[in-house]
Amino acid sequence: MGPAKKSDLPSRGYIPTRLWGFSGHFQTIIHSIVGRVKCPWPLGERVYLSLTDGSTLTYDLYQPLITTVEDDITVAICPGIGNSSESVYIRTFVHYAQCHGYRCAVLNHIGVLDSVQVTSSRIFTYGHTDDYAAMVSSLLKKYPTTNIVSVGFSLGGNLISKYLGEANRPANIIGGVSICQGYNAVVATQWLLKWQNFHRFYLYVLTENVKSIIMKHRHVLLSDDIKQRYQLNERDIAAAATLPELDEAYTRRVHQFPTVKDMYSWSSSLNYLANIKRPMVFVNARDDPLVPDNLLEPVKQFAASHNQSLYIELANGGHLGFYEGGLVYPNPVTWLDRAVVSLIGGIVMSHNDLLVAKRTASVVI
C-alpha cells in the first residue's frame, strides 16, 4: 500500500474536543456511555443465516444513499465486544459511509441482540471468524461483483485481521481497516489484570458485559445438557470477576481449548498478520487505556516491513473515541468516522490503479 498520502486521510487534522478530548480515559468513558452525539438510525434489512452448528447469525444490510459512485463497494463491518448494528458508534459510521456511496453490512455478534434468540451452545468469541466468514459468503451470493472492504472495531479489528490471515479469502475482498485492536490477547489480558491506571475497572466492565450476555441466554447456554456436556458450573460463571476467570469457567470449555492461554494465543491476530494478502490499515491511539504501548510495537514493525500495510497512530483518541471539535460538545461525526471512510476510498483507488496497471501490462505484452 506504500506510505500514506495526503489524499488518504481527511484534509482537516485531528483536534480533540478541548476540555476533555486530550484524556484517553474521558474519550473512552464518554464513548462507552454516550457513543455519538445526534446519532442517526440508518434504515436497513436484517438477514438471518442458519449455520451448520445450529447457531442463528444475523447481519444488517444498508444500501448507499447516493448513486454517483461508480464502484460497487460493500463495507463489511465487524463491531467491538458485545456490540452490534444497534450500537451508537456503528450507526453513526454506517450512515456516514452510506452518504459517501458505500453499501454497509454489519455483523451482529451472536447473543448480543435481545430480539434474536441463541439457538446453539455458544455466543461470539475473540478469535472465531466463522461468523464473519458466513456474512461475507452471504454478501457475495447477493452481490457477486461487489468489492468488499473489511472494517473492524476493537475486537472486530482482531477478527477481521485474523480472518484475512487464516486462509485464501475471496478475491472480492480488496483490503481491510482495523481500529483500536490489541493484537495479542495473552499480553493484553495480563496488562488489564493490573490495578494501575484503572485497568481493572475496564476489565470489570468488559467481563460484566460478556457475562450478562451469557446469563441472558442461560436457558440455552447453560441448560442441563450443555452443562453436562462441557462440564460447566453456573456458579463459577456467575462469580467470575475477570475475563480470564469467565473464559476458564465457560468459553474455553465450550470451545474445547486445553487452557485459556491456548485459546488467547489461537485468537490473537498478531499470529496471522504475516499471511494477509490484502492491503491493511491499522489505527490506534497512544492514550487508549485498553491497549498499552507494548502491544503496538509488533504491528508497527509489521507495517514497516510490509508494503501493503499502513499503521496510523494518534496521540489522542482513547478507545474508539476520537471525538473532535468544540470546547465541551464535540462534532456529531468523529475524526474516526471521517478517517475510515477516507481510508476505504484510498483502498478502492489503489485497487483500481492496480487493475489498470495489469490491463496495461497485458496489452504491452
* Cα–Cα distances in angstroms (integers) from residue 50 to residues 22, 114, 135, 230, in the given order: 45, 18, 11, 23
Distance CA 286, CA 278 (A): 25
SS3 content of the chain, % helix, strand, coil (to 5): 45, 15, 40
Catalytic option among 31, 95, 217, 319? 319
Yes or no: say if 156 and 135 are a contact pair by the CB < 8 Å rule. Answer: no
Instruction: Go through the chain and tell me how many residues it has.
Output: 365
Residue 241 pairs in a beta bridge with: none
154 is catalytic: yes
Distance CA 266, CA 185 (A): 9
Distance CA 57, CA 134 (A): 8
351 is catalytic: no
Distance CA 116, CA 81 (A): 17
Q: For residue 356, what is the enclosing H or E element? A: helix 335-364
Yes or no: say if 204 and 192 are a contact pair by the CB < 8 Å rule. Answer: no
Residue with cell string 464473519: 132
Residue 62 pairs in a beta bridge with: 104
What is the number of helices (H) and of strands (E) in the chain? 14, 8
Catalytic option among 150, 288, 350, 351? 288
230: DSSP letter: H
Yes or no: say if 299 and 305 are a contact pair by the CB < 8 Å rule. Answer: no
132, 137, 139, 141: CA torsion to nearest 10: -170
32 is catalytic: no
Residue with cell string 463497494: 73
Distance CA 246, CA 193 (A): 13
Catalytic option among 154, 161, 178, 309? 154
Using left for φ > 0, alpha for ψ between -120 and 50, and beta otherwise, residue 320 falls in left
Using left for φ > 0, alpha for ψ between -120 and 50, and beta otherwise, residue 35 falls in left
Residue at 356: amino acid letter:
V
- Which positions are annotated as active-site residues? 154, 288, 319
